Amino acid sequence: MRDGSYVIVDRLCEATTQLLEIIKKQEEIIEQCNTFIDSADDGYLITTFEEKLNNLPELDETQKSSYQERNKAAVNEHVIKGYRILADGIEQLKNTGKYSGGLCNYPNGQKYYEYLVNNQMGWSKTIDEYDALLDSYISRNIASIQGLYRKNLGLSDQFSTFHFQYTQPMEILSDLKEKIKTSFPEGADVNYEVKYITKALQDYASPAMYFTPQIDNNAVNSIYINPKSTGSSDIYTTLAHEGFPGHLYQITYFANKNSDLIRHIIQPGGYIEGWATYCEALSYQYADTDNAPLNTLMQLNYSTIMLIYGKVDIGVNYYGWSEDDVYNFISSYGFNDKSVATQMYSQMLSEPANYCKYVLGYVGFMELKAAAMQKQGNSFNLKEFHQYILDMGPVQFDILFENLPE
């Protein structure tokens, strides 16, 4: 049995660790602000404006030059100034915080976390129920992986041979458009382009992003790729998430339904990101390996990693996990690198419930699929199931379950 002095030392060490984590996050934000400030002359607010300006044939060079100068002045006088104020303000706030750790450590933090998750999902479940659901999916995935290994001797040795036929973005999107035809309804006929995130943002931006088009004009659809965090091995599945049958496909499909404009503004994150994550997981089956068990193994591996991230989000922000708790949890699944736990813990502190809209949304669609298969029996059709989701458009999960056809 340990005496009280050891307990005091443990708590002091934990408090010190949490304080250092807060300081680290403050430094990261200040660094991001300074990077943005330093790249002001050729940052994306300048380059994207000039790019769009050059596509206006009705303007002559003198007019374009004038607009460019006015844009640069506006960016420097207002946007850059705002970033300087933000960086200076955070600098002054250093070491003044009263709370640390996940959201649950703040006043009413658990209730606020419940609100964040419920706002994204619209599914009548408690956080405890979500957490248990993630546990069941992880267990199910691991059992499926073990079953694959038993039935396919040497499968683990083939892990490194997994690949997709295409690695160029436009070729990938064309391939995806073709391959989804068997299990997804025909989408909208729209133009799209692939661009790369400006260098100034590559250290902080997501691996890729789809820019939602204007509410009254979906003719221009842009996917931005971050070359610093998206490699040739994951570009295919990333574009399935952002492009077909993910965000681009879903948003332009629903835009053609001529629904009330408010439906295009109020969009639950669990539906939007859950659908894209569901599509990303499905895209592993499109790999040209001629090895169905290997494709399924990769799909299950991706799914399990996402589920683990969802568990950590809930663990840190609702149950109060420390960084050590995160490490103990992920190491039980073979992630023995402590830097991974540090990174995950930091991510969950930065954006509480952010992973939930991806992971719980994905699980929501998997549960919806299971409910449809049980309800419809032999008449279940995957293409019709996907069409039901797309026709309903972005809604809460309770509505999706309540209106599931017989």
Cα–Cα dist 220/235, whole Å? 21
List all residues 6 or more positions away from 145 whose beta carbon is below 8 Å from its beta carbon: 297, 300, 301, 304
Domain boundary among 82, 100, 118: 100
Cβ–Cβ < 8 Å for 307, 336: no
Cα–Cα dist 218/220, whole Å? 6
Helix axes 247-255, 269-282, angle to 10 degrees: 130
pTM of the model: 0.87
Split into its structural domains, the chain has a count of: 2
Residue 290 backbone zone (phi > 0: left; psi -120 to 50: alpha; other: beta): left
Domain boundary among 100, 121, 145: 100
Q: Which tens digit of pLDDT belongs to each residue from 309-348?
A: 999 999 999 999 999 999 999 999 999 999 999 999 999 9
Residue 22 has a pLDDT of 58
Residue 23 has a pLDDT of 59
Decide if pLDDT at 19 tops 50.
no
Residues 87, 123: one domain? no
Residues 65, 36: one domain? yes
Q: What is the DSSP string of 29-52?
A: HHHHHHHHHHTGGGSHHHHHHHHH
Cβ–Cβ < 8 Å for 315, 326: yes
Residues 30, 86: one domain? yes
Q: Please, what is the average pLDDT of the chain?
A: 90
> Averaged over 80-101, what is the pLDDT?
87
Per the model's pLDDT, the better-predicted residue between 4 and 294 turns out to be 294
> Averaged over 14-32, what is the pLDDT?
64
* Residue 27 structural domain: 4-100
Per the model's pLDDT, the better-predicted residue between 161 and 129 turns out to be 129
Cα–Cα dist 258/275, whole Å? 20
Residue 315 has a pLDDT of 98
